[in-house]
Structure formats: C-alpha cells, structure tokens
Amino acid sequence: MSVSLAVPRHFASPAIGRAFSRVLGRALVPAFFGLVAAGLALPAAAGPRIDTWTAPSGAKVLFVESHVLPVVDVQVDFAAGSAYAPAGKAGVAGLTRGLLSQGAGNLSEQAIADRLADLGAQLGGGVDPDRASLSLRTLSDAPTRDGALAVLRTVLAAPAFPADVVARERDRAVAALKESLTRPETLASRAFWQNLYGDHPYGRQATPESIAALTRDDLAAYWKAHYTARRATVTLVGDLTQAQAEAVAQDLTAGLPAEAANGGASLALPAVTPPKATTVAVAHPAAQSHLFIGSPTFKRGDPDFFPLVVGNYVLGGGGFVSRLMKEVREKRGYAYSVYSYFLPLKEEGPFQIGLQTKRDQAGAALKVVRDTLAEFIAKGPTESELQAAKDNLVGGFPLRLDSNRKLLDQVATIGFYGLPLDWLDRYTERVKAVTVTQIKDAFARHVQDARLVTVEVATDLPDAQAGAAR
C-alpha cells in the first residue's frame, strides 16, 4: 500500500512521492484509492469542529480552526469537473483548470510561479469527474498568507488564458494523452469508464482530436460558466481566526464570474443508465494483463454507503487482509496488487475490482476474482470478518484526521457533496451499526451480475484475440 504514495494522487504530496519513488513497497493500491479513502474513511469518535456559512459572494464555506502549525490550507472546489464539459469539448475541464495559474490579472505565468515560490507557498489541485479544485498551502504569518491568497484570488477571478500559452498547453496535453494511450493501465481505465457509462458524461473522454480542437474561447467560456460562486465550495483549515476565515473566503470568491442571467450552467448531471454485462478486450503487448471488473453503483449521500463500505473492506478494500488479497495474492501469488473500491460521485460512481497479472494466467486469476466476488455477494462477510472490519474502521478513525492535509480532504468532500456536518462525528457509530444482512442486501442491489463490465487489456484470452470491443 505504501506505493499508493508513489502514484500521482489527486492532491499529491511531493515529499512522500519522492521518498517512495525510488523505493519498493509491499503492495500497490490504485491512484483512486486515496480519493476513495477520503470519502469512505471518515470513521470515528468525534470529528473536528466544522464551522460553515455562505459568504456574501454566494460561495459555501467550511472552516476548521487549528493553530497547531503556522500554516493555512485552502481548497476551492467548483462543480466544474470533466463531467460538465459540453458535448464535443471533452478535455476542456482539465485544460481550463491547468490554464488558470498560467497567466492571470496582470501576472504572467512566470510571475505567478515566482511569487508563490518567493513566499514558499504551494498551489495544487486538479480535476476529477465532478470537481475542479485549486488548493493553496501557505505559512500563516500575515504578509506571507496575504501575498499567497492574493495570487490565488487573481488566478480564480481573472485568468487571462493567453493565446500562446493556451496553444502550448493544448499541444502538450495532446502529446501527453498520446503517450498515455500507449500504456495498458490507461487503456484499461478508459475502456472501463467508457463501458460503464456509455454516453453519460462520466463515460466521455478526451481524445487527441477533441483536445486539439479546443480554443482559447472554449476555455474562457468554460471558466465563465463554471467557476462561479454558486458552484464553489471554499474549505479552510489551519491557523486563522473565524473572522479572518470569513474575510478570506469572501475575498477569494467575490471576484468570480457572475452567474448568467438565465441562471447559468446546470449543476445537475444526467441520470446514469446501468450497462449490460459485457467483456471488453483491448490488445497490448505488455507482460502483464490489466483486468477490471465493475459497474456504476451509488451516489454520495446514499444510505447504503455504510454497508457497502464496511462490506468492501472485507472484500477488497482492507489492504492485506481482504478476501481478494488473500485469494489472489496470498494463496496463489497471482498478483502484486488486487483491490476493490467504491467511488461514490454526484451520480452513481463506480464499483471497481482491479488487478494485474502475468498474461498467461489472466484467465485463472479472473476466475478466482469472479468466484470470490460471487461468494461474497451470495453470503456476505462472516461475523468475525465484519467485526475485524469494524475494528479497523472504528479504531483507525483518528488516523484519518491527524494532519491538516487530511482534514482538508475530508472537510472539502463533506462541503462539496453537501454531506451532513456531523458526518465525521457519527461515522464510527454508523460503522458499528452495520450488520451482515445489510451488507448482503446492499451488495445484492448495487453489484449485480447482469451489469458487471469486465475489461481485459493485454491478455491472450479468446476475447482479447478478437482485439475489439464487444
């Protein structure tokens, strides 16, 4: 699992990344795991005190005051993730997000980078299906903090989208995508999302052609329609007073683009149509097959969250002690990494099982995975497995919240998805209340055979030899 740290995450930590980049760990979990864990793993005693309000700008604000370190962490999330891209503009969300900090107000991209570096501040963020995010970490002394926040405000409210920079970054994005399309893991992931979601925005993916066709105006229009205060959630963690936090949140969001007269771009996403069970094979010369099984499952806020998450801990979420790990890795040595997770999104996010194995044993490994899943869905966990899951999720709750960075992730998720503010406070009691029957029931409804998509990349299975999607 340590290696999850080496995988670029949504909000990667460079320090840890380096430490592990030249180091081998004992297990690998997918990049998404961190994000998922953020959402799934909010167990515990009591969470931090979260204050929340709506800024005069209209932006929603969440604030956790902590003076342990002279540091302020800010994250601004917009309902501007890749799923909001207009038809035919796949790739616009990521490129827009990237361009924000590459020229804004009267600051060139060089000036933005220099100013933040001079202050020792770090700007991060990224794009996922639902969210486009900017995060800022800065020291909390007033001149440094104010200087760094001023850059963030400018980046949010006055991106310039310089034509030459847009052209350059578009070319780089096309080249990077072409490169990643040679990678078996990319092909597997794209085929997975495409076949789970079809024409739903979660299934649409940027292509070299769609990115190449994007213009400066597309980016500016996307920013104008989606980076509004109504679509924004500001999360603040760290060394600020309540009054300072209120001022910061308003200051950051006051200059965001105004909502269009007609009410602006929709916040809603279309409903997900469940896929039919299918197997998709993609040819690739890799030594290992990349295998995914999954289906769309549930939304943020679904009452089945706890049975599914606790159940998944037993199935494939619990690291070295999960059933998949035991059956696939420990007993048979088929894979280094095997896992399952739920990624709840605004609409039904995926359930996914993933593994990589030497290609001549792909069929055998798939069979073990299918049997393990079928057994789990039919019978659920044993009472002792359920207890072990609760012990870990409840006992380990404090580990989810023991740094400002972790608090920021958790609270931003609560804010963006509108989860109740006592979400963290009640997490452990809800985990403790889960029963075997609830898990069986929830899995039976959410993980149905008739909807399971299998993706096989780089196998020699009969499907793969066809070399095409079915």
Residues 192-251 that bind other proteins (CB under 8 A): 194-195, 198, 203-205, 207
Residue environment code for 341-365, b if the CB has 16+ CB neighbours within 10 A, otherwise e = bbbbbbbbbbbbbbbbbebebbbeb
Find the shortest distance in angstroms from Cβ 147 to other proteins: 11
Kind plus residue range of the DSSP H or E element containing 461: none
Which residues from 250-309 bind other proteins, rule CB under 8 A?
280, 282-288
Closest CA to 157 of 201, 111, 208, 107: 107
Closest distance to other proteins from the beta carbon of 446 (Å)? 24
Out of 179, 371, 375, 429, the residue judged to bind other proteins by CB under 8 A: 179
**Member of 270, 301, 398, 418 binding other proteins (CB under 8 A):** 398
Angle subtended at Cα 79 by Cα 12 and Cα 207, rounded to the nearest 5 degrees: 70
- C-alpha torsion sign, points 263, 92, 59, 10: positive
From residue 339 to residue 378, the character string flagging contacts with other proteins as x (rule: CB under 8 A) and all else as - is -----------------xxx--------------------
Residues written for the chain: 470
Strand order of the β-sheet with 338-342 is 278-282, 453-457, 288-296, 350-358, 338-342
Closest approach of other proteins to the CB of residue 261, in Å:
33
Bridge pairing between strands 60-65 and 51-54: antiparallel
Interface residue with other proteins among 266, 320, 379, 433 (CB under 8 A) is 320
Using the rule CB under 8 A, give the single segment among 20-28, 243-251, 257-265, 303-311 that binds other proteins: 20-28
CA atoms within 13 A on the CB side of 251: 18
Q: Which is nearer to other proteins, 320 or 378 (CB)?
A: 320
Residues 105-124, interacting with other proteins (CB under 8 A): 109-110, 112-114, 116-122
Q: Which of positions 400-429 make contact with other proteins (CB under 8 A)?
A: 401-405
DSSP for 354-406? EEEEEGGGHHHHHHHHHHHHHHHHHH---HHHHHHHHHHHHHTGGGGSSSHHH
- End-to-end alpha-carbon separation of the chain, Å? 34
If binding is defined by CB under 8 A, does position 27 make contact with other proteins? yes
Give the max Cα distance, the chain: 65
Q: Name the one range near other proteins by CB under 8 A: 75-83, 242-250, 328-336, 366-374.
A: 328-336
Give the count of residues interacting with other proteins (CB under 8 A): 105
From 26-34, 154-162, 248-256, 435-443, span contacting other proteins (CB under 8 A): 26-34
Q: How far is the CB of 200 from other proteins (least distance, A)?
A: 11
**What part of residues 73-102 is at the interface with other proteins (CB under 8 A)?**
90
